[in-house]
Amino acid sequence: MAAQFQLTDESVVVIIGSGAGGGTLGTELALKGIRTVILEAGGRHEIEDFVNDEWASFAQLAWKDMRTTSGDWRVAKDFANLPAWIVKAVGGSTTHWAGASLRFQEHEFKTRSVYGDVKGANLLDWPISLKDLEPYYERAEDRMGVTRTNGIPGLPGNNNYKVLEAGAKKLGYREVHTGRMAINSQERDGRPGCQQTGFCFQGCKFGAKWSTLYAEIPKGEDTGNLEVRPNSQVLRIEHDPSGKVTGVVYADKDGNLQRQKARMVAVAGNAIESPRLLLNSASAKFPDGLANSSGQVGRNYMRHMTGSVYAVFEKPVRMWRGTTMAGVVQDEAKHEPSRGFVGGYEFETLSLGIPFMAAFLDPGAWGREFTTALDAYENMAGMWIVGEDMPQESNRITLHPSLKDEFGMPVPNVHFSDHPNDVAMRNHAYKQGMAIYHAVDATRTFPTTPYPSTHNLGTNRMSENPRDGVVNKWGQTHDIPNLFISDGSQFTTGGAENPTLTIVALAIRQAEYIEQQMNQRTF
Ligand SMILES: Cc1cc2nc3c(=O)[nH]c(=O)nc-3n(C[C@H](O)[C@H](O)[C@H](O)COP(=O)(O)OP(=O)(O)OC[C@H]3O[C@@H](n4cnc5c(N)ncnc54)[C@H](O)[C@@H]3O)c2cc1C
Ligand code: SF4
């Protein structure tokens, strides 16, 4: 039976956001016997509510509240008020996500040491190493049911994958397989195996794909220690005269303001909302926002170097059949500066339905070039490229000086410009991606510009030294011991890998630390 805690209960842990970071942390704490409230801005849509229709599903699940953009990235021009594709619902972006679950490589935790001084980049080593995280990666893979780990077989490749694999192998790539996916390839953990329906981005109607919505949170609720309060958007975190956090103010489902007391607060609103909330919680004691003595809150916003390549073939591919991300090529993920950039990237199959393809293939385009591409949809294959982008101090989330949301909270502005390293890496990836498809006789290829950001990282980064970042190696803010960050905003650098497995591993590790600190009565 799910718990219900009093607003005045000062003994509860409050977590803001129920996605990969918050949903995992809340469940883990509840399993340890720690009484926890998750406040989630979005509604609770269960599996049976999901809709297998791209725009209808987006309307149901995505965070659509106004955001503004600046910087020279093309997203600012094409989608000025939609810089990111993030979910506002219980389960967070793990309802929409594709499931690709790759570990960081060793050097990606130490980029300042390995890449050296990259001009204009605010590189920093993580205060932890791959070795520190390995035991938690193992636990995360086990609970998420990641294929090709723990004896779980890989998923079968669909046509989109077969085209990618054939082209990649012709080019000489060797690390080509159907991925490590948090999607059941067979029944596991009370959830069925994947039915290959192809609506992974719309919320998996079978529950085969891991999501905190149904694979974590109900387990936490069953302990009687976890309450998830949907339609509860936190507006401000409060503190006492000593600076210790005491609770949060949130708008409930009717728009009424409520104050939830707390023993400690963990922020897991994704890398745009988390710094927005810290900045909006500025007070006389903390005039620049909470946990911001370094001035790094909101800075170093990363979104991964991304782009896509689609290709048309003589015969049908029907890429939409089967899992959306059906395979990966990892050969370019290594750090090999002779290519003209530091860090690396991966190719992962991607399929968009016609409604999304029309919006994203070449935003704003019209005319014969574009319409004939859509005509050839049945014969298309597609891939996404995802690589490490450089943290830059000037890429940042700030509070808009005048625009406010329905609760009077300033909207966030997302400022982003590519670093020259990001551009060099993307050009390399476009060239290689097109070569993969031409190797298997593509008749046309379309290098496609980045979509609104799905991987949002770095805006409350981890650092050894409080001067360089916002949180320590446990995700605990340097400035306030009972205030934690538990989402992708704590990443020091982004790696070439999709981030969620690392977010989950960090949340499991953080839960252990929080339990320990509570036992020692640190807060
Ligand atoms: C289409 C798509 C495909 C993706 N595919 C992959 C993939 O294959 N592999 C991968 O690793 N990653 C993938 N991702 C990214 C992945 O979903 C995110 O990295 C991950 O979910 C981020 O976790 P998080 O905890 O930081 O935030 P989220 O999971 O986004 O959760 C944040 C939650 O906090 C809530 N919130 C925010 N602010 C407040 C507030 N003030 N008060 C209360 N609640 C608040 C939000 O409503 C949201 O529910 C994908 C994302 C998308 C959109
Ligand atoms: S392809 Fe598999 S994981 Fe994706 S939505 Fe269908 S059943 Fe779920």
d(CA 172, CA 161): 16
pLDDT-above-90 percentage for the chain = 95
Ligand 1 pocket residue status of 234, Cβ below 6 Å? yes
Ligand 2 pocket residue status of 194, Cβ below 6 Å? yes
- Ligand 1 geometric centre to CA of 62 (Å): 10
Amino acid letter, 279 = L
Burial class (CB in 10 A: 0-12, 13-18, 19+), 401: exposed
d(CA 269, CA 18): 8
Bridge partners of 476, per DSSP, are: 484
**Smallest CA separation from ligand 2 atom 8, residue:** 204
Q: Which ligand is nearest to the CA of 498?
A: 1
Q: Which ligand is nearest to the CA of 205?
A: 2
What values do phi and psi take at 225, rounded to 5? -110, 0
Q: Nearest to residue 82, comparing CAs of 63, 108, 101?
A: 63
**Smallest CA separation from ligand 2 atom 2, residue:** 194
Amino acid letter, 88 = K
pLDDT of amino acid 368 = 86
pLDDT of amino acid 31 = 98
From the alpha carbon of 89, which atom of ligand 1 is closest? 49
**Smallest CA separation from ligand 1 atom 13, residue:** 97
pTM over 0.95: yes
Please give the average per-residue pLDDT across 361-383, as a whole number. Answer: 89
Non-local (6+) Cβ contacts of 119 within 8 A are: none
- Ligand 2 geometric centre to CA of 378 (Å): 20
- Better-scored residue on pLDDT, 74 or 213: 213
pLDDT of amino acid 121 = 98
pLDDT of amino acid 92 = 98
Whether 219 and 31 have beta carbons less than 8 Å apart is answered as yes
- Ligand 1 geometric centre to CA of 19 (Å): 5
Non-local (6+) Cβ contacts of 74 within 8 A are: 363, 449, 450
CA atoms within 13 A on the CB side of 303: 23
Model confidence over 111-141: pLDDT tens digits?
A: 999 999 999 999 999 999 999 999 999 999 9
Ligand 2 pocket residue status of 325, Cβ below 6 Å? no
Whether 440 and 427 have beta carbons less than 8 Å apart is answered as no
Q: Which ligand is nearest to the CA of 350?
A: 1
- Ligand 1 geometric centre to CA of 79 (Å): 19
pLDDT of amino acid 361 = 85
- Ligand 2 geometric centre to CA of 182 (Å): 11
> Length of the chain, please?
523
- Ligand 1 geometric centre to CA of 85 (Å): 9
End-to-end CA distance of the chain: 28
DSSP 337-401: GGGSSSS-EEEEE----HHHHHHHSSTT--SHHHHHHHHTGGGEEEEEEEE-----TTSEEEEEE
Task: Using pLDDT thresholds of 50, 70 and 90, give the confidence band for residue 95.
Answer: very high
d(CA 353, CA 307): 17
Whether 523 and 264 have beta carbons less than 8 Å apart is answered as yes
- Strand, coil or helix: 509: helix
- Ligand 1 geometric centre to CA of 423 (Å): 25
E strand or H helix that includes residue 23: helix 20-31
Q: Which ligand is nearest to the CA of 510?
A: 1
Non-local (6+) Cβ contacts of 367 within 8 A are: none
pLDDT of amino acid 355 = 87
What values do phi and psi take at 377, rounded to 5? -50, -45
Model confidence over 357-366: pLDDT tens digits?
A: 888 888 877 8
Model confidence over 419-469: pLDDT tens digits?
A: 999 999 999 999 999 999 999 999 999 999 999 999 999 999 999 999 999
Model confidence over 276-306: pLDDT tens digits?
A: 999 999 999 999 999 999 999 999 999 999 9
**Smallest CA separation from ligand 2 atom 3, residue:** 209
